[in-house]
Structure 1
Amino acid sequence: MTELLFRHDAYLRECEAVVVALADGAVELDRTVCYPMGGGQPGDSGVLLCEGGRELRVVDTRKGEAPDQVWHRLAEGSALPAVGERVTLRLDWDRRYAHMRYHTALHLLCAVVAAPVTGGQVAGDKARLDFAVEMDALDKDRIEAGLNALVAAGHVVSARWVEESALDANPGREPVHPIFALAFALLPDEGQGASRAAVRVPQAACNAAVRRRDGEPVGPGWQRGIRFVMCLGNSPAIASGPCLAPAPLPVRRRCENRVNRLHKTMSVAPPRGAGMVRLIEVAGADLQPCGGTHVRNTAEIGPLLVQKIRSEGKQNKRVIIAFAG
């Protein structure tokens, strides 16, 4: 088993390690900063600095058969270090950091496009997600504007672990994605009355897209026994019955799925290990199981553009993004 340092700090650029095994031009270390290929993210490359000053090129990183086993593939013809030798592993940082920025950007793309994800891939110069959605539901300008708004907002990105049993106990295993509504549903106390000059948001949509927070008062003027809490910037909006979106709020805002049905992709299983599942949260924007590497704040991603939207068959529609400039 390899200690996966990148899981706790994706910004580590190098580490001291000990060679524990060799096989077919690859080296297994007792600890690593290199991410092994998986979840649509490429394996890291770098340099292995050996005793005596010898440098070995790491051209790829792959998972082994055992849990948390990682193999560092060396350039063809490299003379392998000895088992037990102490080495320094150094990342190709610019390449890894690009992967981190793109991987985080794909989480934002999940938040912007309200459709199940069927696949995805990160590369050095672009990234893409495939969605099970009709082509006419994908508007290039709207998606690009949504992505850049989330980038500019500087949302904090963090990781935490939950028990596998807690995730498995959730009955909603089908893909569920954030839903954009015309406005957030607001319902004041009955005594205050509710405006009927409103756009009705389907209750089913609210049930699928919002965070439950039962029985907790949000603030003065709102009834207790709240069924749902939605995120409107830093201000909560609530619904406790039919979802009524007041007409003065013709703004598309994202409802956040915080607890219910975290399985967001159809093709990639949540990363698991030792009874735990790793969750990545983009504060106020996205929450999903993920084992990849990410930036700490969405502002680090920088401006994005939607390079192309194309059909990949009857079910899949592909959205390709890239850094703008």
Structure 2
Amino acid sequence: MDLMPTELLYRADAYIRDGAATVLAAGPDGILLDRTPFYAQAGGQPGDAGVLRWAGGETTITKAVKGPEDGVLHLAAADAVLPPVGASVTAALDWAPRHRHMRMHTALHLLCSLIPGAGVTGGQIGADRSRLDFDLSDPPAKEWLTERLNALVAADHPVDERWITEAELETNPGLVRTLSVQPPRGGGRIRLVRIGPGDAPIDLQPCGGTHVRSTAEIGRVEVTKLENKGRQNRRVYLVLGE
């Protein structure tokens, strides 16, 4: 399958639930569109599911994943009917889990802000429960983390983004909290997600995921468990209220 970059509609607006697209390729490796609202699995955030509809047919997409050359592959069941190449389709998200992933992802950024100076060694975003692993020997109590997280949520801080050059990131490496995964380089610029005011952000770090527009949209959160995953590795579990 020949691949090419896919226009990521969620980069302009993470709340886009569907969009018109053209099928560039379709086969056992996935369906390639010229543009998509689907987030491709990366950075601990699951790939979106949903449906593709076209004149005379539709198929369920179980997950979106990254393909070569910055393409996004939409995975269908092995026996699914595939849209013909060149067809115009509507790509529609399964919105409920995507929105929970957006709330969760933003909540994890707030969690990072409460444990400054500790590198993030791993993480996983889920619709029901998420986690972050920190290079840390003595984490705060889960009750304290829950209280502070909900205070930040209730403060209704804005969430937005800005872009910097790769050279700017090199001069400020402390922006990168993840120890195991580095922001992708080679495109010339890096996307930063910022929570809070521009002159004094609560959290500011490279991120390619999807987020809500304000912390109040996260809703109530709770840190349910702290686990010791090694001499200097602590896992923090987080759940959302309804």
Shorter-chain TM-score: what band? over 0.9
Residue in structure 1 matched with residue 93 of structure 2 by the alignment: 91
- Structure 1 position 317, deviation (Å): 0.5
- Structure 1 position 39, deviation (Å): 0.4
Over the aligned positions, Cα root-mean-square deviation in angstroms equals: 1.2
Residue in structure 1 matched with residue 235 of structure 2 by the alignment: 318
Moved over 2 A (4+): 271-274
| TM-score normalised by structure 1 residue count | 0.70
Q: Aligned pairs, how many?
A: 233
Q: Say if 1:156 and 1:282, in contact at 8 Å, map to a contact too.
A: yes
Structure 1 distance, partners of 2:181, 2:219, is 26
Structure 2 distance, partners of 1:272, 1:8, is 20
2:177 to 264, 269, 283: 264
Instruction: Give yes or no for the alignment of 1:294 onto 2:207.
Output: no
Structure 1 distance, partners of 2:80, 2:71, is 21
- Structure 1 position 269, deviation (Å): 1.1
Q: Say if 2:28 and 2:78, in contact at 8 Å, map to a contact too.
A: no
- Structure 1 position 38, deviation (Å): 0.2
Corresponding residue SS for 2:97: helix
Residue in structure 2 matched with residue 248 of structure 1 by the alignment: none
Query: In terms of Rg, which structure is larger?
Result: 1
| TM-score normalised by structure 2 residue count | 0.93
Instruction: Give yes or no for the alignment of 1:120 onto 2:33.
Output: no
Q: How does 1:18-57 map to 2 (within 5 A)?
A: 18-52=22-56, 54-57=57-60
In structure 2, list runs of 5 or more residues that go unmatched.
none
- Structure 1 position 293, deviation (Å): 0.1
Identity fraction in percent: 49
In structure 1, list runs of 5 or more residues that go unmatched.
174-260
Against the structure 1 CA distance between its residues 271 and 282, is the aligned structure 2 distance closer, same or farther, given a 3 Å change threshold?
A: farther
Residue identity in the other structure for 1:289: P
Structure 2 distance, partners of 1:302, 1:56, is 33
- Structure 1 position 23, deviation (Å): 3.0
Give per-residue Cα distances to partners, 1:79-100, cap 9 Å, x unaligned.
2111100000000000100000
Structure 2 distance, partners of 1:273, 1:29, is 23
Structure 1 distance, partners of 2:224, 2:186, is 36
Q: Say if 1:271 and 1:278, in contact at 8 Å, map to a contact too.
A: no
Residue in structure 2 matched with residue 306 of structure 1 by the alignment: 223
Residue in structure 2 matched with residue 64 of structure 1 by the alignment: 67
Residue identity in the other structure for 1:155: H
RCO higher in structure (CA 8 A, sep ≥6):
1
Instruction: Give yes or no for the alignment of 1:132 onto 2:132.
Output: no
